[in-house]
Structure 1
Amino acid sequence: MSRGGHIRQTHAVTNQPPPRTGVNEFTASSALVEGVKALDAGWDADRLTEIGAHVGSAEFQDHARRAQTRPPVLRTHDKWGNRIDEVDYDPSYHSVIADAVRYGAHTSAWAEPGPGATVARAAAFMLFAQIEPGHACPISMTHAAVASLQHAPSLAEAWMPRLLSRHYSPELSAAKPGALIGMAMTEKQGGSDVRANTTRAVDAGGTYELTGHKWFCSAPMSDAFLVLAQTGDPGSGTARPSCFLVPRLTPDGERNPFRIQRLKDKLGNRSNASAEVEFDGTLGALVGEEGRGVRAIIDMVSRTRLDCVLGSAAGMRQAVAEALWHTRSRTAFGARLVDQPAMTAVLADLALEAEAATLTGLVLARAHDNDADDESAAFRRLAVPVAKYWITKRGPGHAYEALECLGGNGYTEDFPLAMRYREQPVMAVWEGSGNVMALDVLRALARDENAVEAFGAYLGATAGVYADYDAELEHMKTMLAAVGKSTSEGDAAALARPLTASMAVLLQAAVMLKLAPSPVAEAFIGARLVPNRTGLYGALPRGLDLAAVLERS
């Protein structure tokens, strides 16, 4: 106390932003609102507005925070010694998933197909993933698994009502109306090389028995999993990977052998469990044809790769929103941080990245709608791996730069950007790392002439206006020609990354020119396509309309 008996005011809080709650995360994002409308999903604006208000609420953010800070726990046995192989999650994690399912962020595009349906679902998915990213894994896989189940009409008929349900229950039960799907593809000796898998599947008269070990099984408390296992005789060289739907419960309601060996201790994605699992006579139903498992599961992978793009874009949106909230409320050296030129440039650059990622993801979603024509299908064959390669790689650096805008606050767990920084790398690793994506681009270029023509037509439609865009387009064509003239796979592979990066930035620039306001599109070209550009955020050329960029965020 002071000499006069008064308590000293040493802890008065000033110059700190208020809590960022009560913000409608949909209506606050001009890029998302305008992209949804431009890509034929404006009919769903009311639902998306409702979701935006919900995920921006203090209650939802509290659930997201608890889900991230109270990770799942494995219980292999019950107290009597019975093997149960269950994962306990914090109730907040279940609350988040229940909300996402209730609003159709998983399968609304399949439940109500039509023009813009996948765009609307993508927007809903991004809004939830912006605040709590871990739950997006089972939500994404459930959406994507529907495509693979089309290869097995009888399975689709049995499972689709539960996958399309808006009801979520966490327990393992055959009686519950809703279901989620997980995935177990990779093994410790193979990784992306799924043809090296050693898990075996033996026909047991209409169903199959699987035996083997999976190194990564995503969301192990899902109700069923798409799994790759070898069928055929390995001794005769006829063994080939086949795709199976493996339920946690057998048709008679008993637990399918599904031994969870351990949960992965991951860098991020902590609210979501990833496990090693053992199959031992585990029952599975064939999806598609024997020996063509990659063909059956690739339909799922294409959509989960798109969701990696959407998840990265959602993370960028969160990073920009938090950075702007802080810098608009905090002053230093006599002015708001947001108004100081060096900070303005950084924030505008971050906003450009987020908007380009968001609109690119929505464009790719539109190409997956059930009314998409052959050209759109060809376009997405090349555009998805191109975008997945680039946008997911931009995520971690973007999160770091936004974190730095908050100064010391950003480095603490009290604010969400430390979580986001840990979270973003998984989008680049999951469903094919950078080299896998770049090599997939080379395969599409070599094997799918329609994809090359469709992608080229998309880029060509915006040529002839900006010299920097045209120069990058010519540079990309030069690399394409060099790949075509390569005399070995090694020579072509050496160009895979720079070629894919050039294609990706051009794709984003074309998307911005088609969908963003002119000052914003021009700023993106100035920031990404000018000669001698730097990879660091905030090093922008003079003369860009940064106020127009920030106004949209």
Structure 2
Amino acid sequence: MEPLPPFATHRVENQPPEFAPRDLWRDDMALREAVAREGGADFADALATYGALAGDELYRLSFDAHRDRPRLRTHDRFGQRIDLVEFHPNYHRIMQAAIEHGVAGLSWSQPRPGAHVARAVLSYLHHQVEPGTSCPLTMTHAAIPVLRHAPALAGWEGKAISPYYDPRDIACEHKLGVTLGMGMTEKQGGSDVRANTTVAMPLGAEGEYRLVGHKWFFSAPMSDAFLVLAQAPGGLSCFLLPRWRPDGSKNAFALMRLKDKLGDWSNASSEVEFMDAWAYRIGDEGRGVPTIIEMVMLTRLDCMLGAAAEMRMALAQAMHHTHHRRTFGKRLVDHALMRNVLADLAIESEAAIALAMRVARAVDRAPYDAQEAAFARVATAIGKYWVCRRAPAFVNEAQECLGGAGYIEESLLPRLYRQAPLNSIWEGSGNIQCLDVMRALQREPQCGQALLAELELAQHLDPDFDAELNSLRRVLEGTAEMAEVEARRWVEAFALSLQASLLLRSGSPVAEAFCTSRIAGDHGNAYGTMSRDFDFAQLISRAWPSD
């Protein structure tokens, strides 16, 4: 036996290798199949490039970007008000890579069939390694349909979809690319934005206003401009509020403090006061909510994608660890109970990305297909509610697969665990989503028709699914009441049935296991409670390639 080095007490053995580099595109069979199925295959090369980049360089950069939290500098050393947010340099390197590869702009810069599906995949790959930067990327992407309501803002649109990242605090006309944030929530209103009290007073020029008031959550305050809601003389209206006025002076708003958040550490969220801040109206006065709702629909899709991404990365970390760690004479992945847990997580992860990609296809086709538009309207809220609801427990289960190592920051899982609740809260919490589904089904009959048509595509493929479909049909055809107090139960049932329908039609090996465990109920209340009859080896190998 060789002697130990001086001062050493043990050899380091039975530890998994570093996770990175991993190719997040190549490793994810379910994702690649969903992209081909939902119309994004023309973009496969670009997606493969970003999957390799995200799983290597961006993964490594993310640790410092996350740990070194943003800092607010309200004044410079001379006492001048500057309202700047400072970030670790790695934050800017990650943002630059994302924007150059189209995470914020591909849907609009390459407007051909499948572009929204491809952009959704880029967001999904990016969010796996650095979810904090997903916030400004998502809002920049989602703001474009809103800006198009104001032709005078075409210059902002062009720079928001450009492949250039410029973090300098200078006016838009001096930049090749810009990012956009959002300010809707106020102290007294929360989700009830019609209770907002910020006032917008018209100036002399058409479309120009001055704003006085506040925002309790001002997302990505380092952005070049923000979409905000304020009370104009004609009612609640939507505005673009830039950091710099058209005359070249700093706009009159003050960042009061940054939010001290549970997670999302690499991203800044703030409180802000508007003190006669200059803004330009988008859409008609009194139409603020209908104007900005196009942005909210897209950001809700990204919430779903983000939750699915967190699941996938948590699963990948668990798979990587259990395929290398040995206990009681064999690999962790070869223990029967661990196989049950991993297989169960693999089912959940594939179902999540299948639903998110189907909604992305509906968004892609909505401008040209009324039924797809109706499906996107209701399925976005269904998926946002359910997938985001599942993420926190999923990440926690993946942590357990690593034991104590999963509670250590270097494993990435604590970051994911802190991040997981955010997507279910941001852009409308669970109750808001369920009420939105009810509203769509009750007031827009085409939404129920589109949802039922989607589910019926899998009819006769599984008896348990057929039985569930028959019970849901009564609600979707309007012959049974969907009471508000039961809204969560119904939306959960819609979500599970949509996921089952998609998996069955895709021919995925996961489909039967999903229907048996989630639809027929051959499952306990925790992950890893499937019966012995499932093919765990097949489910695990599909989710994780051999190292």
Divergent runs of 4+, >6 A = none
Q: Which residue of 1 aligns with 2:88?
A: 90
User: Which residue identity is paired with 1:43?
Assistant: D
Q: Which residue of 1 aligns with 2:23?
A: 24
1:474 aligns with 2:473: no
Secondary structure class of the residue paired with 2:46: helix
1:37 aligns with 2:53: no
CA distance 1:532–1:321, change in 2 (3 Å): closer
How far did 1:479 drift?
5.6
CA distance 1:465–1:60, change in 2 (3 Å): closer
Task: Give the Cα separation in 2 of the matches to 1:122 and 1:137.
Answer: 14
Task: Give the Cα separation in 1 of the matches to 2:492 and 2:535.
Answer: 26
Alignment of 1:387-426 (within 5 A): 387-426=383-422
Aligned 8 A contact 2:20 2:60 in 1: no
Task: Give the Cα separation in 2 of the matches to 1:402 and 1:130.
Answer: 14
Aligned 8 A contact 2:516 2:522 in 1: no
1:379 aligns with 2:375: yes
Q: Which runs of 5 or more residues in structure 2 are unaligned?
A: none
Task: Give the Cα separation in 1 of the matches to 2:95 and 2:125.
Answer: 13
1:480-504 alpha-carbon deviations (Å, 9 max, x no partner):
6899547xxxxx2101110111111
1:493 maps to which of 473, 484, 488: 484
User: Which residue identity is paired with 1:539?
Assistant: T
Aligned 8 A contact 1:520 1:545 in 2: no
Q: Which residue of 2 aligns with 1:170?
A: 167
Q: Which residue of 2 aligns with 1:227?
A: 228
1:58-91 alpha-carbon deviations (Å, 9 max, x no partner):
x322210001100000000000000111110111
User: Which residue identity is paired with 1:209?
Assistant: R
Q: Which residue of 1 aligns with 2:184?
A: 185
Aligned 8 A contact 2:437 2:491 in 1: yes
Secondary structure class of the residue paired with 1:183: strand
User: Which residue identity is paired with 1:447?
Assistant: R
Secondary structure class of the residue paired with 1:134: helix
Q: Which residue of 1 aligns with 2:515?
A: 525
Q: Which residue of 2 aligns with 1:158?
A: 155
Task: Give the Cα separation in 2 of the matches to 1:506 and 1:82.
Answer: 57
How far did 1:7 drift?
4.0
Task: Give the Cα separation in 2 of the matches to 1:160 and 1:242.
Answer: 20
Aligned length: 537
Task: Give the Cα separation in 2 of the matches to 1:504 and 1:350.
Answer: 17
CA distance 1:483–1:247, change in 2 (3 Å): farther
2:340 maps to which of 345, 353, 366: 345
Aligned 8 A contact 2:323 2:332 in 1: yes
1:222-257 alpha-carbon deviations (Å, 9 max, x no partner):
01100000012xxxxxx5210001111111222111
User: Which residue identity is paired with 1:360?
Assistant: L
Task: Give the Cα separation in 2 of the matches to 1:9 and 1:82.
Answer: 55
Root-mean-square deviation (Å): 1.7
CA distance 1:98–1:352, change in 2 (3 Å): same
Alignment of 1:503-542 (within 5 A): 503-517=494-508, 519-531=509-521, 533-542=523-532
1:357 maps to which of 352, 359, 363: 352
Task: Give the Cα separation in 2 of the matches to 1:6 and 1:333.
Answer: 28
Deviating more after overlay: 466-475 vs 344-353: 466-475
TM-score (norm 2): 0.95
Task: Give the Cα separation in 2 of the matches to 1:190 and 1:498.
Answer: 27
Q: Which residue of 2 aligns with 1:489?
A: none
Q: Which residue of 2 aligns with 1:236?
A: none
Aligned 8 A contact 2:448 2:477 in 1: no
Task: Give the Cα separation in 1 of the matches to 2:489 and 2:505.
Answer: 24
CA distance 1:481–1:367, change in 2 (3 Å): closer
Q: Which runs of 5 or more residues in structure 1 are unaligned?
A: 233-238, 487-491
Secondary structure class of the residue paired with 1:215: strand
CA distance 1:365–1:6, change in 2 (3 Å): closer
Q: Which residue of 2 aligns with 1:444?
A: 440
How far did 1:478 drift?
5.1
1:486-538 alpha-carbon deviations (Å, 9 max, x no partner):
7xxxxx21011101111111111111112252x21111112211236323101
Task: Give the Cα separation in 2 of the matches to 1:13 and 1:5.
Answer: 11
Q: Which residue of 2 aligns with 1:113?
A: 111
